[in-house]
Amino acid sequence: MIDESLLRRLPKAELHCHLEGAVPAETAIMLARRNGVRLPTYDAQQLYRFADLPQFLTVYRAVCASIVTAADFAEVAYAAQADAAIAANLRYRELFVNPTNHPDLPYPRLLAGVLDGLRAAQVDHGVIGRLIPAINREQSASVAGDLVEAVIAHRVDEVVGIGLDHNDVLGPPVKFAGVYARARAAGLRRTAHAGEIAQARQVTESIEVLGCERIDHGYAIIDDPVALAHALASGVHFATCWSTCAWFHPDRIGVASPIVAMAAAGLPLSINSDDPPMFGTDIGREYHGAATAFGWTLDDAQRAALTVLDAAWIDDTERRQLVDEFRRETTDLGASTAELDIAE
Ligand code: HPA
Ligand code: ZN
For the chain, the average pLDDT equals 96
Q: Is 196 a catalytic residue?
A: yes
pTM attached to this predicted model: 0.96
Longest dimension (CA), the chain: 56
Residue nearest to atom 2 of ligand 1 (CA): 166
> What is the whole-number distance in angstroms between the Cα of residue 249 and the centre of ligand 1?
14
| Ligand 1 within 6 A of CB of 166 | yes
Question: For the chain, which residues score pLDDT lower than 70?
Answer: 336-344
In this prediction, residue 321 carries a pLDDT of 97
In this prediction, residue 247 carries a pLDDT of 94
| Ligand 1 within 6 A of CB of 216 | no
| Ligand 1 within 6 A of CB of 12 | no
| Ligand 1 within 6 A of CB of 286 | no
Residue nearest to atom 1 of ligand 1 (CA): 166
In this prediction, residue 335 carries a pLDDT of 74
Please state, in angstroms and rounded to a whole number, the distance separating the CA atoms of residues 48 and 25.
7
Please state, in angstroms and rounded to a whole number, the distance separating the CA atoms of residues 36 and 46.
19
How many residues comprise the chain? 344
In this prediction, residue 343 carries a pLDDT of 44
Pick the catalytic residue: 196, 205, 208, 329?
A: 196
Residue nearest to atom 5 of ligand 1 (CA): 166
CATH superfamily ID and name for 4-23+67-343: Metal-dependent hydrolases (3.20.20.140)
In this prediction, residue 337 carries a pLDDT of 58
Sign of CA dihedral 300, 304, 306, 310: positive
Asked whether the beta carbons of 216 and 258 are under 8 A apart, the reply is no
